[in-house]
Chains A and B, each alone.
Chain A
Amino acid sequence: MRDTDTKDLELTRTLAAPGEPFVWLTAMGLALGLIMVVGLLGVIVANGLPVFWPSKIVEVHLKPGVKNPLPNSGGTLTGEIVQTREKRIPVLSATGDKIEDQTEVQIFVGNKDVNGSGFVFLNNSDIASISEPRGIYRLERMEYGIAFAYPKSLQLADGTSLPADSPAFTQTLTRLDAESAARRREIEKIEKHDIGAINSRITQLRAKGKGSPESLKEIAALDADYQLLAAKARELRAIQSAAALIYTTPNGIERRLPVGELVAFTLPNTLVFNQKLGLFFHNIWNFLTLDPREANTEGGIFPAIFGTFVMTLLMSLAVVPFGVVAAIYLREYAKQGLAVRAVRIAVNNLAGVPSIVFGVFGLGFFVYFVGASIDSTFFGEYLPTPTFGTGGILWAAATLALMTVPVVIVATEEALAAVPRGMREGSLSCGASKWQTIQRIILPASLPGILTGLILAMARGAGEVAPLMLVGVVKLAPSLPIDGAFPFVHLERKFMHLGFHIYDLGFQSPDSEAAKPMVFATTLLLILLVVVLNLAAILIREKLRKRYATGAF
């Protein structure tokens, strides 16, 4: 008797969990999923975040006899070490071919105006030594990207010159940089905002005024305004290039950089940890808030963040009412029969249609049919320039809404079906009509489920790229879909999108090496944006769940 008892106990203690082998199978499935998610995030974070961390500038001395990939540089080259990687090369020899492993170093040498290319690869075996020059500057320029430079002097606007070794040099350069940044903002405000407003008004007058004397008069007045503003912008631009920084590149070429072309400068090799940390967050901030420069490889990605956000929001606004109304009809009003089952199957299948198909449909239906009809009805005077008859954020949102509507319908139907029957009967027995019951009892109780559908729809919609390329996303949008110009929300405008931005950086960029870190940083941001949008919806859902919890017993 006692023997069997201990035997039973031992059995339950074994790792194999008798009778429950599927515990291990299911746990393995989950573990695999978690590893993949963590791995993905890890790769993105590890590649994305270092972009913002200021790295040191090194001077690489090559072994004698090794050919320098940079012109006129002698035996040294200067830049930031990006990565070291292994490569295998076959070596042919008389004694027999063999495979040899070598290490190569990728160095970002910048100074694209002098060097032609921004990156070079060196075999580790060709490097004699590496040193860190202290006085080297890292200059971020409006054009040609980063320059590594030894400053020589500052040419001031009054013609005097301030040598780099004078004590006031750094201070003066900082001041000039701040001033030029302020002027750059002013120029941008004049050119983009003020002149933009005048231009759109003139376009409007030309289209609508049809050459009437009043419109011509107003156009003349606006033209005078434009001349004034343009003159002011020209004047500011002249000031921008009055003062200049004279520097020599590491290979000894002297260059003149007008302060207006200088975005920021740092001395990476003299930075201490706190300064680096400050710069790290400063870089992240710039990345989040600035417009892109240099074919999107430099600057920030604010327009893409904003475009993604606005488009997802518009899509949610379109998809929720549409999906919920359809689901209410299917679940509450339609007589459950063959026809409804067919519709349900069709809706579920719609969720499996490739997204590019929706893109093609959006282009054909929304852009070419609906948009063109709107144009010929309301914007006939602007034709042949299309207003709504071309891709835009409205059509992109509508296309994605169409793509994600099955998700919302299915989720809403489930939520409606989950409302306890007692609650329906209670409402009807109080003399409520069917619609009153739906509106006052069933919809509020199924809101959390509806929001689950919205969360799934947003997650799918925000990350979609392929259909957007057909219906309104662009590499560089001149203006945001929401801005200060009347009527503030411009649904017809083309927009930038993080997903497309990633594709564009990775595959369409003129310098894909330079864009690679930006790809990861943008990916990280896209994931963060989706997480933030989802978290917001989840928070609302939890709040509603508490409010409409239906645990009567």
Chain B
Amino acid sequence: MPPVLSKPTEQPMETTVNTTAEGRPDFISIRDFSFFYGKKQALFDISLDIPERQVTAFIGPSGCGKSTLLRNLNRMNDLIDGIRHSGDIVVNGRSIYDPHIEVISLRKRVGMVFQKSNPFPKSIYENVVYPLRVSGQNKKSVLDETVERSLQGAALWDEVKDRLHESGLSLSGGQMQRLCIARAIANRPEILLMDEPCSALDPIATVKVEELIRELKQEFTIVIVTHNMQQATRCSDRTAFFYLGKLVEFDETPKIFSNPAQKQTEDYITGRFG
């Protein structure tokens, strides 16, 4: 089986919780990737290697293409009419544009958390098990186990364990976002994409989600888009700075924020533009 297609649902959890081992440095490899919305080019020849089980932050001013790139990692942009790309994105050694790969199976491997929390109008329980249900998993014991594991993983279990069958929309904003994280990790994806997950949250909820990101990197490869420079320093290992659709600089986070190689990066992180 090709690696991207192999589903770890049946595998025991221990195989992925291998915190001591160093992950692949090029777990996600973006190669000369350009992307167009119709005639408008949004990304220009991006090349970038995202290491396994680390947090990689994408920063840059609005409209710089960081969200577009993130949404290409699980081919969420396929929904838009008139898109086009060149170059390639390789996940774990296999191109996500490989015609033999079903986009659905790709998305099952790549969880995503959105800027605006988007729980379904279902119970908390059903929200979390949704990825399993759509994969045809309806066994109660598996579902129960997943709900507890995922909600604990998203640091929400203690708050909702007594009301799992209430609507997911009855939670507070921060809880809803953590519910979405629980849903995104329910099917044990390898990669977790986060598109400004804290932009709509208050500071306390933000701290909780950031702590969670640091926890989750033990298990997942995380790519996070953020506008918040402090957030990038607090929870990412590597940071990529984008400007006008081009990758300006990509390095260890401390280096980017203390000693950037490019003038543009320095201007941006010191707040001179953007």
- Residues of A near any B CB (own CB < 8 A): 335-336, 420, 422-433, 436, 440-441, 444-445, 547-553
Task: Give every chain B residue within 8 A of A430 (Cβ-Cβ).
Answer: 107-108, 111, 130-131, 134, 183-184, 187
Asked if residues A428 and B76 are in contact (CB atoms below 8 Å), the reply is yes
| Residue interface mask B79-95, A partner, CB < 8 A = 1 | 10100000000000000
A545 to chain B, nearest CB (A): 10
- The complex places the Cα of A444 from the Cα of B122 at a distance, in Å, of 10
Tell me the chain B residues, 12-58 only, with Cβ under 8 Å from chain A. Answer: none
Decide if B180 is an interface residue (CB 8 Å cutoff): yes
Partner of A552, one of B105, B130, B135, B169: B169
A175 to B218, CA, bound (A): 91
- Alpha-carbon gap, A90 to B219, bound state (A): 102
B261 close to chain A: CB less than 8 A = no
* Residue of B104, B121, B187, B200 contacting most chain A CB atoms (<10 Å): B121
Set of chain A residues within 8 Å of B167, measured between Cβ atoms:
547
CB <8 Å contact, B107 and A425: no
Instruction: Tell me if A553 and B118 are in contact (CB < 8 A).
Output: no
Tell me the complex Cα distance, A440–B81, Å: 24
B134 touches A429 (CB 8 A): no
Interface string of B107-126 (1 = CB under 8 A from A): 11011101011111100000
Complex formed: what's the CA distance from A429 to B111 in Å?
Answer: 6
Instruction: Add 7 more A-B contacts to A430-B184, A552-B118 (CB < 8 A).
Output: A425-B118, A428-B76, A429-B112, A430-B111, A430-B134, A436-B134, A553-B117
- B118-A428 in contact (CB<8A): no
Q: What are the residues of chain A within 8 A of B119 when measuring CB–CB? A: 426, 552
Name 9 interchain pairs, CB-CB below 8 A, sorted by A: A335-B81, A422-B116, A429-B112, A430-B131, A431-B105, A436-B134, A445-B121, A552-B119, A553-B200
Question: Within 8 Å CB of B120, what residues of A?
Answer: 423, 426-427, 441
In the bound complex, CA of A549 to CA of B168 (Å):
11
Least Cβ distance of B104 to chain A in Å? Answer: 5
Q: Does B153 contact A (CB under 8 A)?
A: no
A431 pairs with B176, CB closer than 8 A: no
Residue of A424, A428, A433, A436 with most chain B CB atoms under a 10 A cut-off: A428
Measured between beta carbons, the chain A residues less than 8 angstroms from B173 are: 553
- The complex places the Cα of A440 from the Cα of B111 at a distance, in Å, of 19
Q: Provided the pairs A431-B107, A431-B187, A552-B169 are in contact, do residues A426 and B118 lie with their beta carbons within 8 angstroms?
A: yes
Cβ contacts under 8 Å, A440 to chain B: 130, 133-134
Q: Does B236 contact A (CB under 8 A)?
A: no
CB distance from B136 to the nearest CB of A (A): 10
B265 an interface residue at 8 Å Cβ cutoff?
Answer: no
Within the assembled complex, what's the spacing in Å between the Cα atoms of A431 and B176?
Answer: 20
A125 to B119 Cα, complex, angstroms: 80
Give Cα distance in the complex from A318 to B137, angstroms: 34
Is A420 a contact partner of B118 (Cβ separation < 8 A)?
A: yes
**Chain A nearest CB, measured from B193 CB (Å):** 8
| In the assembled complex, B74 has its CB within 8 A of some CB on chain A | yes
- Distance of A430 Cα from B137 Cα, bound (Å): 13
Per-position 1/0 for B162-194, Cβ under 8 A of A: 000001010001001000100110010000000
- A425 pairs with B114, CB closer than 8 A: yes
**A440 to B176 CA separation, bound complex (whole angstroms):** 19
Which residues of the partner chain B approach A425 to less than 8 Å between Cβ atoms? 76, 79, 112, 114, 118
- Closest beta carbon of chain B to A364's beta carbon, Å: 41
In the bound assembly, the distance between CA atoms of A432 and B180 in angstroms comes to: 15
Chain A CB within 10 Å — which of B130, B131, B133 has the most?
A: B130
Q: For A422, what are the chain B residues with a Cβ–Cβ distance below 8 Å?
A: 114, 116, 118
User: What are the 8 A-B residue pairs with the smallest beta carbon separation, nearest first?
Assistant: A431-B108, A422-B118, A429-B112, A430-B131, A432-B134, A426-B118, A548-B121, A431-B107
B185 to chain A, nearest CB (A): 11
Contact partner of A426 (CB less than 8 A), chosen from B74, B104, B180, is: B180
Select A336's contact among B81, B117, B130, beta carbons within 8 Å: B81
Which residues of chain B are near A336, meaning CB under 8 Å?
Answer: 81
Q: List residues of chain B with CB within 8 A of the CB of A433.
A: 104, 134
Chain B residues closer than 8 Å to A420, beta-carbon distance: 118
Of A426, A429, A547, A553, most buried by chain B (CB within 10 Å of CB) is A429
CA distance A547 to B166 in the complex (A): 10
Task: Name the residue on A nearest B109 (C-beta).
Answer: A431
Q: Could you say which residues of chain A place their CB within 8 Å of the CB of B131?
A: 430-432
